Amino acid sequence: MLFQLRLLAYRLLKPFLWPVSRVVAIPRPTLFVGPGSAQRLCASLGQLGFRRVMIVTDAVLVRLGLVEPLRRALEAQGIDVAVHDGITPDPTYPVLQAGYEAVMTHRSDAILAVGGGSAIDAAKVIDAMVVTGKGPTRLIGMLRVTKPMLPLFAIPTTAGTGSEVTVAAVVTDPVAHVKAAVIDPKLVPMAAALDPELMRGMPKPITAATGMDALTHAVEAYLNRWPHAETGRHCTAAVRMIFGNLQRAYEDGTDLEAREAMALASFYAGLAFTKAYVGYVHAFSHKIGGMYGVPHGLANAITLPYVLDFLKDEPRARDRLAELAVVIGAGAATEPRDVLAQRFVDRVRELNRAVGIPEKMAALAPADVPEIARAAMVEAARDYPVPKAMALGESEALLRRMQA
C-alpha cells in the first residue's frame, strides 16, 4: 500500500515539473565535427588561454595510443598537461575520488574528458567535486552544483551516451550496487569534438551497444509526454541516422562516414533527452546495470523492444511509433497506425539482431525480478514523463520475458 501511495504521489507532482523543464536554460557546447576535429578542439584550448589541463580518460585508450596525440596537441599550445587514466566503466565513488585528487594535485584550470560515457560522466562529477568541495553522494540529485565549474571539454570515443551534450552524469554506489545521477546544467561541456577517426577502432560489441543506447535515447524522448519545440526534430534525425548507419559502422569500423553519422546521431539524441527525458528502458537498465554490472548501452538495447511492446497500444505512443516507422522508411503515412507501430518495433528487433545484440538478459536472476521491477517503477514515476504507467505485475512480467 505504501509503495502504491509513493508512486501516486510522484505521478501527481510530476506535471508541475514540466514548466520548470521548459524554462531552465540549458547551455549547448560549441561543436567540432569530422576527421581531425579532436586536434582542432585541443588547439582551441590554447587559444582560450588555458595553461594547466587535466585529461580524464581510461587506461585502455591510453594503451591504444588515442590519448597521446591529444596530449601532444595541447603541449604544442604551451599547456602543462597531466593525464589521469583511472576511469573505469560505471565509475564508482572511489574512482571519482581518485580523479578529484589528481585534479587538485595538478591544480588544473580546465578538464578534457576523452572516452565513452563513463569517462565523460566521471569528468563531470570530478569537476563538480573540485569546485564545490562536495563528495559524490552530496551531488546526486538535481541542481546540487552550487558553484561555476572548471571549464570542461569532451572528446567522445563512442557514439551512444550523448554525455558530451547532456546535463547529467551517472555514478555507481559500489556498496548498494545502484546507479544515480548528478543533474545540473553546469555539467554541460563548453565544447566537444565528434571525431570519427577516434572511433574507427571501436570493437563491434561496443559499436552495437552504444549505437542502440543512442537509439533508446531518441525513441524514449520522442514518446514522452513533455514535448519541446526542437526535440522532435532531434529525435527523428537521430533515429533516421542510426537505422541508416549503425549496421554499416558495425560491419566496417573504418567507415568514417558511418562513424561520423553515428556520432552526430548520438549528439542529437543527447540534445533531445536532456529536455524530454527518457523512460522505462532506462529505469530498468539502471537497476540491472547496478546489480549485475551489465554495460548501460547493452542493457538498454536488450530492454528497448520489450518496453516498446508494452507501450505500442497506448494511443500517443502508437502514433509516435508509427511516425518513426515512416521516418526510417518502414511504411507509408497512409497505413494504419497500429500496423506501422508494430513494424517499427519489429525493425528495432531486426537491428538488434543485425548488430549482435542478444534477445535475452543473461544476467537477470529470477529472484531479483521483484526488486528490479519496484526500483524501475519508482524511478519512472519520479523522474520520467512516460506515455503509459506500468503496474507492478506488468513490470515483473516484462522482466520475466527478458530472462534467458
What is the tens place of the pLDDT at every residue in 383-399? 899 999 999 999 999 99
Average pLDDT on 265-281 reads 95
Question: pTM surpassing 0.85?
Answer: yes
Q: What is the pLDDT of residue 281?
A: 98
- Secondary structure letter of residue 227 according to DSSP: -
Parallel, antiparallel, or unpaired for β 168-173 and 191-194?
unpaired
Q: Cβ of 120: how many Cβ atoms within 10 Å?
A: 31
Under a CB-based contact definition with an 8 Å cutoff, are residues 295 and 91 in contact?
A: no
Mean pLDDT lowest among 135-149, 252-266, 314-328: 135-149
Query: Which H helix or E strand runs over 129?
Result: helix 117-132
Sequence letter at residue 320: R
Give the number of other CB atoms < 10 A from CB of residue 322.
24
**Domain ranges (residues) in the chain:** 26-198, 204-402
The arithmetic mean of pLDDT across residues 269-296, rounded, is 93
Beta strands 152-156 and 80-84 are: unpaired
Q: Would you tell me which CATH number, out of the four given (3.40.50.1970, 3.40.50.300, 3.30.559.10, 1.10.10.60), belongs to the domain 26-198?
A: 3.40.50.1970
- Mean of per-residue pLDDT scores for the chain: 93
CATH top class, domain 204-402: mainly alpha
Question: Mapping DSSP to helix (H, G, I), strand (E, B) and coil, where does residue 192 land?
Answer: strand
Q: Is the fold of 26-198 the same as that of 204-402? A: no
Q: Is the pLDDT of residue 367 over 90?
A: yes
SS3 345: helix
pLDDT in tens, 108-163: 999 999 999 999 999 999 999 999 999 999 999 888 999 999 999 999 999 999 99
What are the pLDDT digits (tens) for 205-245?
A: 999 999 999 999 999 999 999 878 789 999 999 999 999 99
Sign of the torsion angle spanned by Cα atoms 355, 276, 269, 185? negative
pLDDT category of residue 20 using cuts at 50, 70 and 90? low
**Distance of alpha carbon 50 from alpha carbon 82, whole angstroms:** 13
As given in the structure block, the three cell numbers for residue 13 are 507532482
